[in-house]
């Protein structure tokens, strides 16, 4: 799955990146789903060690267009983890209090502590995406944020945070089908907003903005993974594979007790 990692200096052209690509797995969908189930169990085990060892911090960033699969990723990939050691932070339109501070202020409050994994459902990257597309601030404000974000993430990694960033790449036709499915299903209509259709009209501007994000902020310390996400099973396979491989690379161990338990029995 490392083929989906964007190495620093790589120039991404999203128009040439196939959201239907499943080349990272040589097998059937049913075999992939069995592998995902195995990886989810493994992730559960690794997250338990992460929590027990209380040494590492893990930040997972999910970004995508509307209907891109951020919620689905949280629901499926992280279905087995212990909620006591995992948090999900969703960043909506900034509140009045948040607007009184710098754009990273609300992000810093939600970062993981030792032994924790936090998933950002949208993130600080909204401040070089929606802010840019809707011209909420001028270019002289948002353009320097690429370097600011890189430096911020480098600071986090130097202080013990492992950062994994996933852009879930769908195409406009796939989004159309997913929006229509929400509209047609009374149990999902609460997810549909007329504003989604207005955002959809800005698709080219968003693609350019995302392309610049991937090209300018995929670093050795905080890499982006460009995940083909038209097929939900492949999205889950890529993300769970990368997570498990990364956590295994931390070489974590259960802590040893400091108490003398020799001869102790439970009565």
DSSP string covering 8-77, please?
Answer: TT----GGGS-TT--TT--S-HHHHHHHHHHHHHHHHHHHHHHHHHT--EEEEEEEESTTSSHHHHHHHH
Question: Tens digits of per-residue pLDDT, 140-181?
Answer: 999 999 999 999 999 999 999 999 999 999 999 999 999 999
Q: How confident is the model at residue 260 (pLDDT cuts 50, 70, 90)?
A: confident
Q: How confident is the model at residue 263 (pLDDT cuts 50, 70, 90)?
A: confident
- Percent share of the chain, pLDDT over 90: 91
Q: b/e map of 1-36 (b: 16 or more CB within 10 Å)?
A: beebebeeeeebebeebebebbebbeeeeeebeebb
CATH number of 2-249: 3.40.50.300
Residue (of 208, 200, 158, 152) closest to 177 by Cα position: 200
Q: What is d(CA 131, CA 138) in angstroms, rounded to the nearest whole number?
A: 9
Q: Quickly list DSSP for 24-35.
A: T--S-HHHHHHH
What is the predicted pLDDT for the residue at 84?
87
pTM: 0.95
Cβ proximity of 49 and 254 under 8 Å: yes
Q: What is d(CA 137, CA 132) in angstroms, rounded to the nearest whole number?
A: 7
What is the predicted pLDDT for the residue at 261?
83
């Amino acid at each position: 799955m490392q083929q989906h990692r964007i190495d620093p200096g790589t120039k991404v052209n999203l128009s040439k990146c196939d959201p239907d690509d499943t080349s990272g797995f040589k097998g059937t969908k049913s075999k992939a789903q069995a592998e995902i189930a195995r990886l989810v169990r493994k992730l559960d085990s690794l997250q338990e060690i992460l929590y027990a060892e209380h040494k590492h911090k893990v930040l997972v960033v999910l970004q995508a267009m509307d209907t891109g699969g951020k919620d689905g990723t949280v629901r499926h990939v992280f279905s087995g983890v212990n909620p006591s050691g995992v948090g999900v932070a969703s960043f909506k339109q900034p509140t009045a209090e948040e607007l009184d501070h710098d754009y990273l202020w609300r992000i810093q409050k939600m970062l993981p502590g030792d032994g924790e994994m936090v998933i950002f459902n949208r993130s600080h990257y909204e401040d070089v995406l929606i802010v840019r597309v809707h011209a909420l601030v001028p270019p002289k404000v948002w353009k320097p944020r690429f370097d600011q974000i890189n430096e911020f993430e480098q600071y986090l990694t130097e202080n013990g945070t492992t950062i994994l960033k996933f852009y879930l790449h769908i195409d406009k036709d796939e989004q159309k089908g997913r929006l229509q499915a929400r509209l047609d299903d009374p149990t999902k209509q609460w997810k549909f907003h007329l504003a989604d259709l207005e955002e959809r009209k800005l698709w080219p501007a968003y693609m350019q903005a995302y392309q610049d994000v991937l090209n300018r902020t995929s670093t050795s310390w905080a890499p982006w993974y460009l995940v083909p996400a038209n097929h939900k099973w492949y999205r889950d396979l890529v993300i769970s594979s990368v997570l498990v491989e990364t956590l295994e690379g931390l070489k974590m161990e259960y802590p040893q007790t400091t108490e003398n338990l020799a001869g102790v029995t439970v009565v």
